């Protein structure tokens, strides 16, 4: 176990914003398992505000009592930082491997690879199928490791044959929608093969431990990188971008039933389209953790063992930070630069804290609390906190991807001029891949010439040859 904990501490160097590790120092020699929790979107200032209180929210009282209690006996890693670029796929990969995107090859759910060819069949989100010749030089392709590789992304179970209503997992992945490797007979590249680094789950499983993980896409079986699916003794991934349905028997840790859809007036094409529905979705994974604490599988249908390493991600805070719900006019986010949460975001924090409190209570009930290291971190933050510094890029035809696509510098699978493609990723940042590095200087000139219209700050474009230390 000493070796395992040493590797985990290496991973901590890449965590986002803040990482809080609970542990009574008197019991360091008796730690037997790690519960890893990612509160996606949470910043260091969010931890301080919710644990200590902020005068402009909740009448000044702390609104995360469970997290605050862990913080009193834990260690707060204030120098932790997210991956760059920052998002769920690269952030998660950094947490479980300790590797940067340059090392692991993971830059985003949807990115580009010159090493692979297109999938056999189109993905659910529009990455086109294409040819692949074994042994030939790859032509390059957009890569997708999110809901688009599900058999049926409209279903919570991802379309896995014979699966229970919400039981998404390895069987939900459609191999014909995966990019292919011509150097390996054009075999599909599964998520755990795409990541070029060994994960902590593989390390612990190989050492005889029991490893489990719950996340928002079946594609996030990528945490098995190293030895592959065998690294995950239990994996649970109900599809977050599936159609919202009632969840019989599911009640949130705050006591609200999810048997029927909580917010039926919302856009029901994804759980992330509602401040209320996302809590029901996250509760599926909360229940999975509680079952695993009890020594059962994620659905609670079979006796197994308490994992050596296990955990989940929460999506509720991320939704609370950035979503604007058109059906009721409610906006998420912060009220000021100090990180005062608006009403919708405050409710998401309370939900997540109640969930963490449920984990602590169950660990104590089973006599496992003192032997469990609880780590609370975040794959990524959501920026900016200060609402006055947010500038939406709504000018049609002037995004960086559009400008460079029009110049012919973007691969066709990424181009905004591809009528059936998934396009370049332009989220918190524009993630652009050039067809040829010889076009770099010309691309920079185009962006500089259109800086004002595109919202680009002059003097902040970094380019040219670089080496990895």
Tell me what the mean pLDDT of segment 9-30 comes to. Answer: 46
Q: So what's the pLDDT on residue 420?
A: 84
pLDDT digits (tens, 9 = 90+) for 244-280: 999 999 999 999 999 999 999 999 999 999 999 999 9
Nearest partner of 88 among 13, 29, 10, 147, judged by Cα: 147
pLDDT digits (tens, 9 = 90+) for 117-143: 999 999 999 999 999 999 999 999 999
What does the domain layout of the chain look like in residue ranges? 2-106+196-235+252-384, 108-194, 391-469
Distance CA 448, CA 56 (A): 41
- Banded model confidence at residue 393, pLDDT cuts 50, 70, 90: low
The residue written with tokens 């509680």 in the block is 290
Q: So what's the pLDDT on residue 18?
A: 45
Q: So what's the pLDDT on residue 468?
A: 54
Largest CA distance in the chain: 65
Q: Is 223 left (phi over 0), alpha (psi -120 to 50) or beta?
A: alpha
pLDDT digits (tens, 9 = 90+) for 149-177: 999 999 999 999 999 999 999 999 999 99
Bridge partners for 325 per DSSP = 330
Distance CA 444, CA 423 (A): 20
CA dihedral 136, 137, 138, 139 (to 10 degrees): -110
Tell me what the mean pLDDT of segment 417-432 comes to. Answer: 84
Token pair of 178, please? 């995966």
- Is the predicted pLDDT of residue 12 greater than 70, yes or no? no
Coil vs helix vs strand at 282: helix
Number of Cβ within a 10 Å radius of residue 348: 27
Distance CA 430, CA 412 (A): 16
Bridge partners for 257 per DSSP = 251
When mean pLDDT is compared across 116-120, 429-433, 438-442, the lowest value belongs to 429-433
pLDDT digits (tens, 9 = 90+) for 289-316: 999 999 999 999 999 999 999 999 999 9
The percent of residues in the chain predicted with pLDDT above 90, rounded, is 79
Burial-class residue 108 by CB neighbours within 10 Å (0-12, 13-18, 19+). Answer: buried
Q: Name the CATH architecture for the domain at 2-106+196-235+252-384.
A: 3-Layer(aba) Sandwich (3.40)
- Is the predicted pLDDT of residue 22 greater than 90, yes or no? no
- Banded model confidence at residue 10, pLDDT cuts 50, 70, 90: very low
Q: So what's the pLDDT on residue 2?
A: 28
Q: So what's the pLDDT on residue 26?
A: 44
The H-or-E segment that residue 188 falls in is: strand 187-188
The residue written with tokens 């691309």 in the block is 443
Q: So what's the pLDDT on residue 384?
A: 79
Q: So what's the pLDDT on residue 451?
A: 87
Number of Cβ within a 10 Å radius of residue 417: 12
Q: Which residue has the higher pLDDT, 376 or 392?
A: 376
Query: Does residue 21 contact residue 72 with C-beta atoms inside 8 Å?
Result: no
When mean pLDDT is compared across 71-85, 236-250, 297-311, the lowest value belongs to 71-85
pLDDT digits (tens, 9 = 90+) for 331-368: 999 999 999 999 999 999 999 999 999 999 999 999 99
- Banded model confidence at residue 182, pLDDT cuts 50, 70, 90: very high
In 387-434, where do the E strands start and end? Answer: 425-426, 430-431
Q: Which residue has the higher pLDDT, 423 or 14?
A: 423
- Is the predicted pLDDT of residue 15 greater than 50, yes or no? no
Number of Cβ within a 10 Å radius of residue 296: 18
- Is the predicted pLDDT of residue 457 greater than 80, yes or no? no
CA atoms within 13 A on the CB side of 186: 17
Say how many residues make up the chain.
469
């Amino acid at each position: 176990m000493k070796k395992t904990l040493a590797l985990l501490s290496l991973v901590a160097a890449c965590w986002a914003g803040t990482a809080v590790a609970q542990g009574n120092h008197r019991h360091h020699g008796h730690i037997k398992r790690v519960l890893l929790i990612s509160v996606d979107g949470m910043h260091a200032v969010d931890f301080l505000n919710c644990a200590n209180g902020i005068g402009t929210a909740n009448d000044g009282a702390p609104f995360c009592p469970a997290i605050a209690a862990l913080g009193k006996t834990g260690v707060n890693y204030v120098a932790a930082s997210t991956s760059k670029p920052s998002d769920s796929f690269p952030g998660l990969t950094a947490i479980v491997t300790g590797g940067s995107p340059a090392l692991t090859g993971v830059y985003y759910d949807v990115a580009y690879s010159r090493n692979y060819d297109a999938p056999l069949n189109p993905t659910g989100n529009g990455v086109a199928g294409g040819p692949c010749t074994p042994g030939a030089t790859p032509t390059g392709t957009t890569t997708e490791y999110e809901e688009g590789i599900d058999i049926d992304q409209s279903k919570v179970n991802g379309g896995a044959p014979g699966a229970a209503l919400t039981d998404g997992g390895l069987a939900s992945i459609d191999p014909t929608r995966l990019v292919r490797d011509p150097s390996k007979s054009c075999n599909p590249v599964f998520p755990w093969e795409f990541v070029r680094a060994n994960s902590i789950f593989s390390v612990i499983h190989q050492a005889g431990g029991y490893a489990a993980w719950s996340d928002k896409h079946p594609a996030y079986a990528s945490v098995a990188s190293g030895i592959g699916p065998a690294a995950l003794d239990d994996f649970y991934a109900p599809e977050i971008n599936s159609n919202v349905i009632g969840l019989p028997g599911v009640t949130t840790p705050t006591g609200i039933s999810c048997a029927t859809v909580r917010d039926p007036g919302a856009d029901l094409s994804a759980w992330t389209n509602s401040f209320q529905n996302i809590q029901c979705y996250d509760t599926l994974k909360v229940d999975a953790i509680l079952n695993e604490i009890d020594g059962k599988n994620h659905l609670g249908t079979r006796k197994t063992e308490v994992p050596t390493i296990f955990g989940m991600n929460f999506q509720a805070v991320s939704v609370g930070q950035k979503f604007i719900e058109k059906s009721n006019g409610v906006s998420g986010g912060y009220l000021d630069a100090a990180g005062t949460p608006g009403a919708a975001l405050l409710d998401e924090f309370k939900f997540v804290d109640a969930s963490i409190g449920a984990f602590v209570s169950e660990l104590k009930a089973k006599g496992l609390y003192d032997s469990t290291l609880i780590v609370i971190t975040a794959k990524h933050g959501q920026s900016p906190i200060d609402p006055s510094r947010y500038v939406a890029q709504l000018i049609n035809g002037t995004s960086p991807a559009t400008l460079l696509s029009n110049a012919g510098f973007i691969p066709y699978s990424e181009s905004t001029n591809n009528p059936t493609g998934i396009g370049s990723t332009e989220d918190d940042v524009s993630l652009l891949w050039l067809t040829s590095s010889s076009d770099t200087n010309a691309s920079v000139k185009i962006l500089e010439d259109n800086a004002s219209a595109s919202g680009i700050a002059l003097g902040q474009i970094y380019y040219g040859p670089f080496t990895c230390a």
